[in-house]
Amino acid sequence: MILVCGGAGYIGSHMIKLLRAEGIDHVVFDNLERGNAPAVKDSRFEKGDLRNRADIARVLDQYPISLVMHFAAYIEVGESVKDPSAFWENNVIAVWNLLEESRKRDIKQIVFSSTAAVYGEPSMIPIPEDHPKNPANPYGETKLAVERMLGGYNDAYGMRSVCLRYFNACGADPAGELGEDHRPETHLIPRVLLAAAGRAPEITVFGTDYETPDGTCIRDYVHVSDIADAHLLAIRYLENGGESNQFNLGSGNGFSVKEVISAAKEVVGHDFPVGYGSRRAGDPARLIADSAKARQVLGWEPKFDDVKVCVQHAWNWMQANPDGYPR
Ligand SMILES: NC(=O)c1ccc[n+]([C@@H]2O[C@H](COP(=O)([O-])OP(=O)(O)OC[C@H]3O[C@@H](n4cnc5c(N)ncnc54)[C@H](O)[C@@H]3O)[C@@H](O)[C@H]2O)c1
């Protein structure tokens, strides 16, 4: 049975939909601080906080867990700069709690949500997994710290892990059952769509003087269902005895902020206000993944590599759920 920490969140909820579809037994562990209970649907649910070891122990004693998935982090870069303490506690110490309670029970397989933020300012594009790691903010530092902790646990205790470094997760369940509902929302596509829906006064573009063809930042958008698929492959990889490994997850295509806004205008079928601001500190001009390793080793084949499809799925969900999940 699989323990899915953070399964009520954006990416975790798409993961558990896939586990349900595959008939893979699992239990969601989430404190619901940032997640949405309705997104858990009919998966088994245990409320608990990874910062509290007794919560973890209770659940691990109750279920025959053989593999742990970890999505349960704080994710907002700006928040990590303002309050690094909360990030080190929730993104590192809480994971250490989870690893310790798992180790005690001989649970030795973990799939961990990492991020492109471990690389920092890229020295080459596309970015391969062995690119130098220089996180530019505490969020990226905490994710890299866990990757390194997992390296030590592999070597000393034989706990095998797969770290999946997502680039910009986006989109929504193609069937429209799940979507992105972060509060506050900081990700580009939902913010563009909030402006398109008239629920935000405008979408602000931060910086138009980058060294890119249209002057706006270029990012690699990877569909949340493709991310879930990669996790399923990572589970199978570990279950088949695969050694600890790290993989980038990106579509390999870069889209600029202006291109995302144009795609959104096509999808929604009308114009909406766009504002222009100055660059934000620490935003690299381009971030594009080299995901060849995930394709070769895991056999991952992303289905949705066009940002317009991602925008369409996000829009479908937003139109059906204008206020997000009921809370
Ligand atoms: N969204 C992205 O673009 C993106 C990109 C790269 C990496 N990631 C990583 O993917 C993972 C999931 O991201 P997301 O967008 O789904 O985030 P999210 O905030 O939607 O989901 C996180 C979930 O974890 C839960 N959680 C947080 N701390 C917890 C704790 N101490 N105990 C129990 N539950 C806790 C929250 O309640 C929430 O349900 C994160 O680890 C994030 O760093 C996300």
Cβ atoms of 314 and 190 within 8 Å: the answer is yes
Round to whole Å and give the CA distance between 264 and 96: 41
Give the chain's count of helices (H) and strands (E): 11, 13
pLDDT reported for residue 281:
82
Which atom of ligand 1 is nearest to 51's Cα? 31
Q: In this prediction, what percent of the chain has a pLDDT beyond 90?
A: 96
Mean pLDDT, residues 287-301 taken together: 97
The pTM for the full model equals 0.97
Mean pLDDT of the region 305-318: 96
Average pLDDT over residues 206-231: 97
Among 10, 18, 180, 225, which residue has the most ligand 1 atoms within 8 Å of its CB, making it the best to mutate? 10
CA distance 179 to 313: 8
pLDDT band at 297 (very low <50, low <70, confident <90, very high): very high
Q: Ligand 1, atom 3: nearest CA belongs to which residue?
A: 169
> What is the torsion angle, in degrees rounded to the nearest 10, for the CA atoms of residue 314, residue 18, residue 234 and residue 306?
-30
At 257 the pLDDT is 97
The mean pLDDT value for 56-70 works out to 98
Of the candidates 192, 197, 170, 189, which has an alpha carbon nearest to the alpha carbon of residue 321? Answer: 197
Report pLDDT for 232.
98
CA of 166 to the centre of ligand 1 (A): 12
Given this model, what pLDDT does residue 47 score? 98
pLDDT confidence of residue 279: 92
∠ CA 150-134-305 to the nearest 5 degrees? 80
- The residues carrying an active-site annotation are 139
Task: Using the mean position of ligand 1's atoms as its centre, give its distance from the Cα of residue 40 in Å.
Answer: 14
Do the Cβ atoms of 214 and 256 come closer than 8 Å?
A: yes
Q: What is the DSSP string of 277-311?
A: EPPPTT--SEE-B--HHIIIII----S---HHHHH
Protein residue closest via CA to atom 18 of ligand 1: 9
Ligand 1 centroid distance, CA of 6 (Å): 6
Looking at the DSSP assignment, which residues form a beta bridge with residue 109?
160
Residue whose CA is at the smallest distance from ligand 1 atom 7: 115
Chain center to CA of 111: 12
Token pair recorded at residue 125: 């594009």
Ligand 1 center–CA 209 separation, angstroms: 32
Mean pLDDT value across residues 253-281: 96
Q: How confident is the model at residue 143 (pLDDT cuts 50, 70, 90)?
A: very high
Give tens-digit pLDDT for 2-23: 999 999 999 999 999 999 999 9
What's the pLDDT at 103?
98
Mean local confidence (pLDDT), 19-41: 98
Q: How confident is the model at residue 36 (pLDDT cuts 50, 70, 90)?
A: very high
Query: How close is the Cα of 72 to the center of ligand 1, in Å?
Result: 4
CATH superfamily entry for domain 2-170+222-249 = NAD(P)-binding Rossmann-like Domain (3.40.50.720)
Say yes or no to pLDDT of 184 above 90: no
Cα 82 to middle of ligand 1, angstroms: 18
The predicted-structure confidence for 97-118, as pLDDT tens digits, reads as follows 999 999 999 999 999 999 999 9
Q: Would you place residue 200 in the very low, low, confident or very high pLDDT band (cuts 50, 70, 90)?
A: very high
pLDDT surpasses 90 at 31:
yes
pLDDT of residue 307 exceeding 90, the answer is yes
Residue 175 CB neighbours (<10 A): 11
Q: Which atom of ligand 1 is nearest to the CA of 12?
A: 16
Average model confidence (pLDDT) across the chain: 97
Q: Which of 5, 11, 165, 287 to mutate to test the pocket of ligand 1 (most atoms within 8 A of CB)?
A: 11
Q: Please give all residues whose beta carbon lies within 6 A of any atom in ligand 1, as ranges.
A: 6, 8-12, 30-35, 49-51, 71-73, 75, 90, 94, 113, 115, 166, 168-169, 182
Residues listed for the chain: 327
In ligand 1, the atom with minimum distance to the C-alpha of 169 is 3
Q: Which residue among 71, 141, 166, 307 has the greatest number of ligand 1 atoms within 8 angstroms of its CB, and so is best to mutate?
A: 71
Can you give the residue ranges of every domain in the chain? 2-170+222-249
Find the mean pLDDT for residues 134-161.
Answer: 97
